[in-house]
A and B are shown apart, each in its own frame.
Chain A
Amino acid sequence: MSDLAPRLTMIDASVKVAPVRISERHVAGVLIVALCAVLVLIIALPLWALLSKSLEDTHGNFVGLANFVSYATTPTLFFSLLNSLAVASATTVIVVPLAFLYAYALRRSCIPAKGVFYAAAMIPVFAPSLLSGLALIYVFGNQGLLKSWMMGASLYGPVGIIAAETLYSFPHAMLILVTALALSDGRLREAADAMGTSRWRIFRTITLPGARYGVISAVFVVFTLVITDFGIPKVIGGQFNVLATDAYKQVVGQQNFPMGAVVGIILLVPAVLAFFVDRVVQRRQGAMLSARAVPYVPRPDRRRDLALLGFVGVIAFAIVSPYAIAFWGSFVKYWPYNLSLTLSNYNFAAVEPDGWKTYGNSLLLASLTAVIGTALIFIGAYLIEKVKLYPRLRAFAQFLAMLPMAVPGLVLGLGYVFFFNAGWNPLGFLYGTLTILVINTIAHFYTVGHITALTSLKQLDSEFESVSASLKVPFWSTFRRVTAPICMPAILDIAVYVFVNALTTVSAVIFLYGADTKLASIAIVHMDEAGAMASAAGMASIIMFTAIAVKLAHAGLDRLVFGRLQHWRQR
Chain B
Amino acid sequence: MSTTAPPFLSIRDLSKNYGAFRALHDIDLDIRRGEFVCFLGPSGCGKTTLLRAIAGLDQQDGGTILMGGRDVSRASPSERDFGIVFQSYALFPNLTVTDNIGYGLVNRRRSSAEIARRVEELLTLVGLPEQGKKYPIQLSGGQQQRVALARALATSPELLLLDEPLSALDAKVRVRLRDEMRSLQQRLGVTTIMVTHDQEEALAMADRIVVMRDGGVEQVGTPEEIYRRPATPFVADFVGHMTFMDAIVTGPGRVRVDELDLLVANATPFAVGTPVRLAMRPEEVRTRSIGEDTPNRFEARIGDLAFLGSYCRAHLEPTSSRSTRIAADFSTNAMRDLGITAGQVCTVAFPPEALHVFAGGAR
Q: Which residues of A contact B (CB under 8 A)?
A: 1-5, 7-9, 11-12, 15-19, 21, 24-25, 461, 463-464, 466-474, 477, 481-482, 485-486, 566-571
Contact = CB atoms under 8 A, between A and B. Distances in A.
Contacts of A15: 105, 108, 110, 155-156
A481 B94 CA distance: 9
A259 to B, nearest CB: 48
B77 A469 contact: yes
A478 B318 CA distance: 65
A477 B184 contact: no
Interface string B131-171: 00001111000000000000111111100010000000000
Contacts of B118: 11
Interface residues of B, number: 48
A24 to B, nearest CB: 6
A426 B92 CA distance: 46
Given A8-B121, A12-B156, A568-B135, A467 B93 contact: no
A11 B93 CA distance: 28
A571 B93 CA distance: 11
Interface of B: 55-57, 76-78, 82-84, 86, 88, 90, 92-95, 103-110, 118, 121, 124-127, 135-138, 151-157, 161, 180, 183-184, 187-189
B76 A466 contact: no
Nearest to A466: B57
| Residue of A17, A469, A486 with highest tally of chain B CB at under 10 A | A469
A9 B155 contact: no
A125 B337 CA distance: 82
Contacts of A25: 76
Contacts of A474: 78, 107
Given A18-B108, A466-B57, A473-B103, 13 more contacts: A1-B183, A8-B188, A17-B108, A19-B108, A19-B109, A468-B103, A469-B78, A470-B82, A471-B151, A473-B107, A482-B95, A568-B136, A569-B137
A1 B93 CA distance: 25
Contact of B76 (A2, A5, A469, A568): A469
B90 A466 contact: yes
Contact of A466 (B55, B153, B189): B55
Given A24-B76, A461-B88, A571-B137, A1 B125 contact: yes
Contacts, number: 117
Given A1-B126, A461-B90, A568-B135, A471 B188 contact: no
B312 to A, nearest CB: 35
A473 B104 contact: yes
Contacts of B135: 567-568
B90 A19 contact: no
Nearest to B80: A470
A25 B75 CA distance: 11
A177 B62 CA distance: 51
Contacts of B82: 470
A467 B84 contact: yes
A19 B78 CA distance: 12
Given A1-B127, A477-B107, A467 B121 contact: no
Given A8-B188, A18-B108, A466-B86, A2 B94 contact: no
B92 A482 contact: yes
A19 B154 CA distance: 16
Per CB-CB distance, the 4 closest pairs between chain A and chain B, nearest first, are A471-B104, A469-B77, A463-B90, A568-B135
A8 B104 CA distance: 16
Contacts of B90: 461, 463-464, 466-467
A472 B88 contact: no
A532 B121 CA distance: 75
Contacts of A567: 135
B187 A3 contact: yes
Which one of B56, B106, B135, B156 has the highest number of Cβ atoms from chain A below 10 Å of its Cβ? B156
A2 B125 CA distance: 6
Nearest to B159: A470
B91 to A, nearest CB: 8
A14 to B, nearest CB: 9
A154 B154 CA distance: 78
Contact of A472 (B107, B124, B137, B153): B107
B94 to A, nearest CB: 5
B76 A9 contact: no
Contacts of A17: 108
Contacts of A569: 93, 137
